[in-house]
């Protein structure tokens, strides 16, 4: 969709928001999976039955044939913007028109691929990790982004219903945070197993933003066969135990007390000057495009940094490639 609704035009938005193009050599395909974990009831709304999850899978494709993969539904877009201060004048469906670069129905390359499972921040939809997921897929990775139902502001299922963030309405305590973290570990390990059954997989890494980054670290602790974990600006709750593999901790300049004690083999801790908490998601570029304040660091630059360091870390520790560490003046290593 090239032109937004009349309401968007009145607000001064002429073209749809868009994400930066992937940088790898492969075209990107995508598909949505509806997975049901019949071994447990939903932890937040038990009356809804077994735990149900929506997952977006991005993959390197043989061609760019297909139709553009949808970013979010109109209902999801409205739910996102309803929770953003200062977004009252922004058309509620504008994020549904966001241009992505993956093609639904594109044929997938053959052979086993390294798998990266992504977990978004608390209340963030899985779509907010699209620019990272598409880029990794273009570089030859199989990527699965998990929607943690009732922890996201909006999750639309194949039958058309859209669930909301039930957990957001509860008192935000450390005890609840630990409960969310434990539930996400179960979500992520379930998705790892399901994706491995459906696709050829050559090694697994987990990554996430905020609560999703915390969950990625704890998922690797729970399943030592996972080869690497990435945490984008996520406080660890509870504190991480000694970790069996390499961890990348990447965030804004912070005073968080949970990262220094992390013990991993090895631990890489990077601070990004000019970034804020959402700079490691698509909001790095989308906020400015729809008229919302964003981080001091240029949005496209923030996406480039996130993508480049993630690919470097995964190439080294998931693929075993000896690749040089990137150099960006905005990025500083911490001990």
Which residue in this structure is represented by tokens 């300049």? 253
What is the structure's pLDDT at 320?
96
Q: What is residue 163's three-state secondary structure? A: strand
What is the structure's pLDDT at 10?
32
User: Which regions in the chain score pLDDT beneath 50?
Assistant: 1-14
What pLDDT, in 10s, does the model give residues 174-205? 999 999 999 999 999 999 999 999 998 999 99
Residue 1 lies in a domain: no
Residue 182 lies in a domain: yes
Percent of the chain's residues with pLDDT above 70: 96
Residue 301, domain extent: 6-334
Residue 36 lies in a domain: yes
What is the structure's pLDDT at 31?
97
Question: What is the C-alpha end-to-end distance of the chain, expressed in Å?
Answer: 46
Residue 109 lies in a domain: yes
Residue 130 lies in a domain: yes
Residue 80 lies in a domain: yes
CA distance 51 to 293: 36
Question: Bridge-partner residues for 212, per DSSP?
Answer: none
What is the structure's pLDDT at 8?
35
Number of domains in the chain: 1
- Which one-letter DSSP state was computed for residue 150? T
What is the structure's pLDDT at 9?
32
CA distance 68 to 303: 21
Residue 167 lies in a domain: yes
What is the structure's pLDDT at 236?
95
What is the structure's pLDDT at 86?
85
Q: What is the CATH number of the domain that holds 17?
A: 3.40.50.1820
What is the structure's pLDDT at 5?
31
């Amino acid at each position: 969709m090239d032109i937004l609704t009349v309401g968007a035009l009145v607000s001064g938005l002429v073209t749809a928001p868009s994400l930066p193009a992937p940088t790898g050599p492969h075209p990107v395909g995508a598909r949505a999976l509806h997975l049901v974990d019949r071994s447990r009831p939903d932890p937040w709304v038990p009356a809804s039955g077994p735990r149900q999850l929506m997952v977006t899978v991005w993959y390197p494709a043989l061609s760019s044939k297909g139709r553009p993969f949808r970013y979010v539904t109109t209902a999801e877009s409205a739910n996102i913007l309803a929770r953003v201060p200062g977004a009252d004048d922004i058309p509620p469906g504008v994020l549904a028109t966001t241009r992505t670069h993956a093609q639904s129905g594109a044929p997938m390359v053959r052979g086993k691929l390294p798998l990266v499972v992504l977990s978004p921040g608390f209340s963030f939809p899985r779509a907010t990790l699209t620019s990272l997921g598409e880029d990794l897929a273009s570089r030859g990775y199989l990527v699965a982004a998990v929607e943690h139902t009732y922890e996201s502001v909006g999750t639309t299922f194949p039958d058309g219903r859209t669930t909301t963030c039930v957990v957001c309405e509860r008192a935000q305590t450390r005890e609840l945070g630990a409960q969310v973290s434990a539930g996400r570990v179960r979500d992520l390990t379930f998705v790892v197993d399901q994706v491995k059954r459906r696709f050829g997989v050559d090694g697994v890494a987990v990554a996430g933003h905020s609560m999703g980054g915390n969950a990625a670290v704890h998922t690797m602790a729970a399943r030592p066969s996972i080869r690497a974990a990435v945490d984008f600006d996520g406080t660890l709750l509870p504190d991480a135990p000694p970790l069996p593999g390499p961890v990348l901790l990447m965030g804004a300049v912070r005073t968080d007390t949970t990262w220094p004690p992390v013990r991993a083999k090895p631990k890489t801790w990077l601070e990004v000057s000019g970034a804020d908490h959402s700079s490691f998601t698509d909001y790095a570029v989308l906020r400015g495009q729809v008229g919302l304040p964003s981080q001091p660091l240029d949005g496209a630059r923030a996406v480039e940094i996130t993508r480049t360091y993630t690919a470097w870390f995964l190439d080294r520790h998931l693929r075993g490639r000896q690749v040089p560490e990137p150099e960006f003046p905005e990025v500083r290593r911490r001990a």
